[in-house]
């Protein structure tokens, strides 16, 4: 496809909805390889926005906006604005994810995750692409939840992130600067849901304090309101049913 | 495509791309939903109204479309742009609603109407004075598009037709429909390059 069409034509095909499913898969791969393609798509989408502003559209009643936003309140947890910083400030997060991008692709991609990559060859090419772009591609997929973690006073330098495949109920986690523990201790991850903590497994950092691991997620990830609070605690290796140790990292 | 509605704590997000807003939406950020609503509610509402021809039903479907975007993550960015997804899904959902009422008269009135729209029906409303020069430039760019390209963009974005539906309704081969839409958008982008950067 790429050999037959210029990239700007491909971008236009994507924006106006010309692409078949197979072409869209290849376009997604090309977007990973060509950051300029993403910029061209943005320009074309902005052009469409300019055009739509001039078409004789009807304005919905102003009250409908409030109704829609109130409806959104009812079907999901209220997420304070401060908890989700603009994307520009998220760059460091993608960088952190990028460190484990190959792992994420293998875990999420191979396990029937909806990356929509047509075949193994494409997947191999994706793995060869820039890891940050690859992580970005993963984050764009449907049924994906993404969390940032920050260390508490117990682990001030710790940062991390977690991607949850809510269809497959699997998560890939990445942390750095978590201190090694004694042999009778472990880090445990807990999801907060309706006032209770649900255990989601435990993990140990490597020698350099980094963690790349996959964990099974509880079924609450397929329920509403969406899970938004996740914590990491230090526990004894015979994990208690509810967290008892200090919280070392939590979602922000 | 901002509406006249009130903005609430969304000023930081207004220049974000659709892609960034959808990603933020998936992380549960309602501010992203507000911005996307401001961008596309007129598109969704207008397409729905043309099929349903009923204010309360149109409002209900508009709400449904945006809440599905929020709750069920119905949009897959790897398939198409958000504007095309919203325009086609709105039209299809509106048609489903009409069909579910088994009201043949409404089907003929609402769904069949776009088939009979001649090229001449492409028309622009009075220029938005508050947008001034930019609005006028976009209008001129649209008017200088070759008519055969403008017509297809009109059917796609004003009526929410898929490419296959456009081909069926206009008797233009599907490949030609796609190439004209592509050329039309690229020409618009070229003409309005400084506004789109």
Domain for residue A2, yes or no? no
Could you tell me which residue, A45 or A127, shows the higher pLDDT? A45
Q: Do A46 and A93 belong together in one domain? A: no
Q: Do A18 and A118 belong together in one domain? A: no
Asked if the C-beta of B83 comes within 8 angstroms of chain A's C-beta atoms, the answer is yes
User: What is the average pLDDT value for chain A, to the nearest integer?
Assistant: 73
pLDDT score at B118? 39
Asked if the C-beta of A8 comes within 8 angstroms of chain B's C-beta atoms, the answer is yes
Residues 194-223, chain A: which have Cβ within 8 Å of B? Answer: none
Contacts of B135 in chain A (CB under 8 A): 53-54
Q: Do A137 and A231 belong together in one domain? A: yes
pTM as predicted: 0.57
Q: Do A111 and A165 belong together in one domain? A: yes
Integer-rounded Cα radius of gyration of chain B: 17
We report the CATH number of the domain holding residue A162 as 2.60.40
Domain for residue A103, yes or no? yes
Q: Do A102 and A181 belong together in one domain? A: yes
pLDDT score at A138? 54
Residue range B123-176, pLDDT digits in tens: 555 555 555 788 888 989 998 999 899 989 988 988 888 999 899 888 899 999
Q: How confident is the model at residue B103 (pLDDT cuts 50, 70, 90)?
A: very low
Mutate which of A55, A113, A145, A164 to test chain B, going by most B C-beta atoms within 10 A?
A55
**Domains of chain B by range and CATH?**
1-111 (1.10.1740.10), 114-197 (1.10.10.10)
How many Å apart are CA B73 and CA B33, to the nearest integer? Answer: 12
Contacts of A77 in chain B (CB under 8 A): 28
Give the pLDDT mean for B1-10: 41
Asked if the C-beta of B4 comes within 8 angstroms of chain A's C-beta atoms, the answer is yes
Is the model's pLDDT at A108 over the cut of 60? no
Residue of B nearest to A86 (CA): B13
Facing B185 at nearest CB: one of A47, A139, A226 = A47
ipTM (interface pTM): 0.80
Exposure string (b/e) for A76-110, b if CB count within 10 Å is 16 or more?
Answer: beebebeebebbeebeebbebbbbbbebbbebbbe
A64 and B156: CB-CB below 8 Å? Answer: no
Q: Do A141 and A245 belong together in one domain? A: yes
> Concatenated DSSP letters for A105-139?
IIIIIHTT-S----SHHHHHHHHHS-HHHHHHHHH
Residue range B16-34, pLDDT digits in tens: 888 888 888 887 888 899 9
Q: Do A45 and A98 belong together in one domain? A: no
pLDDT score at A135? 52
Domain for residue A151, yes or no? yes
pLDDT score at B178? 96
Is the model's pLDDT at A247 over the cut of 60? yes
Identify the three-state secondary structure at position A33: helix
pLDDT score at B86? 95
Q: Do A233 and A178 belong together in one domain? A: yes
Q: Do A97 and A185 belong together in one domain? A: yes
Could you tell me which residue, B166 or A91, shows the higher pLDDT? B166
CA distance, residue A176 to nearest chain B CA (Å): 22
Count up the domains in chain A and report the number: 2
Domain for residue A83, yes or no? no
Q: Do A155 and A32 belong together in one domain? A: no
Q: Which helix (H) or strand (E) holds A40?
A: helix A35-54
Check if the beta carbon of residue A43 is closer than 8 Å to that of residue B145: no
Q: Which helix (H) or strand (E) holds A171?
A: strand A170-176
Contacts of B85-89 with C-beta under 8 Å, sequence gap 24+, read B85/A17, B86/B40, B86/B43, B86/B44, B87/B43, B87/B44, B87/B47, B87/B156, B87/B157, B87/B160, B88/A17, B88/B160, B88/B161, B88/B162, B89/B65
Check if the beta carbon of residue A160 is closer than 8 Å to that of residue A173: yes
Give the pLDDT mean for B49-63: 88
Which residue range forms the structural domain that includes residue A13?
Answer: 7-54
Q: Do A181 and A105 belong together in one domain? A: yes
Domain for residue A155, yes or no? yes
How many Å apart are CA B185 and CA A1, to the nearest integer? Answer: 20
Identify the three-state secondary structure at position A147: strand
Q: Which helix (H) or strand (E) holds B61?
A: helix B55-71
């Amino acid at each position: 496809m790429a050999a037959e069409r210029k990239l700007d034509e491909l971008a236009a095909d994507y924006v106006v909805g010309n692409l078949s499913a197979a072409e869209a898969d290849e376009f997604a791969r090309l977007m990973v390889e060509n950051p300029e393609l993403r910029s061209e798509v943005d320009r074309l989408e902005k052009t469409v926005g300019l055009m739509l502003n001039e078409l004789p559209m009807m304005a919905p009643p102003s009250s409908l906006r409030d109704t829609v936003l109130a409806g959104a309140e009812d079907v999901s947890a209220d997420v304070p604005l401060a908890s989700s910083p603009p994307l520009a400030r998220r760059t460091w997060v993608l960088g952190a994810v990028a460190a484990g991008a190959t792992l994420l692709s293998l875990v999420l991609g191979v396990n029937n995750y909806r990356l929509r990559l047509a075949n193994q060859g494409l997947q191999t090419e994706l793995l060869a692409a820039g890891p940050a772009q690859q992580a970005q591609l993963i984050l764009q997929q449907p049924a994906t939840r993404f969390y940032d973690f920050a260390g508490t006073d117990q682990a001030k330098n710790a940062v991390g992130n977690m991607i949850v495949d809510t269809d497959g109920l699997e998560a890939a986690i990445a942390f750095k600067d978590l201190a090694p523990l004694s042999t009778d201790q472990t880090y445990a991850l807990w999801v907060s849901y309706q006032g209770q903590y649900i255990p989601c497994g435990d993990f140990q950092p490597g020698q350099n304090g980094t963690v790349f691991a996959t964990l099974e997620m509880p079924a609450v990830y397929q329920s509403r309101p969406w899970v938004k609070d996740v914590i990491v605690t230090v526990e004894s290796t015979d994990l208690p049913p509810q967290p008892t140790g200090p919280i070392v990292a939590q979602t922000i | 495509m901002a509406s006249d509605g009130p903005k609430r704590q969304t000023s930081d997000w207004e220049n974000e791309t659709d892609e960034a807003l959808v990603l933020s939406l998936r992380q549960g950020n309602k501010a992203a939903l507000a911005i996307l609503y401001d961008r596309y509610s007129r598109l969704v509402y207008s397409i729905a109204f043309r099929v349903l021809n009923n204010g309360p039903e149109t409002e209900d479907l508009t709400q449904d479309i945006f809440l599905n975007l929020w709750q069920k993550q119905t949009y897959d960015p790897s398939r198409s742009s958000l504007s095309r997804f919203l325009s086609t899904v709105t039209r299809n959902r509106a048609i489903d609603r009409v069909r579910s009422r088994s009201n043949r008269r409404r089907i003929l009135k609402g769904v069949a109407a776009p088939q009979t729209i001649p090229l001449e029906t492409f028309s622009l409303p009075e220029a938005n004075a508050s947008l001034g020069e930019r609005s006028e430039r976009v209008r001129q760019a649209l008017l200088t598009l070759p008519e055969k390209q403008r017509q297809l963009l009109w059917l796609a974005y004003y009526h929410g037709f898929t490419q296959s539906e456009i081909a069926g309704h206009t008797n233009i081969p599907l490949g030609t429909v796609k190439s004209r839409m592509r050329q039309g958008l690229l020409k618009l982008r070229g003409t309005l390059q400084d506004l789109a950067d």
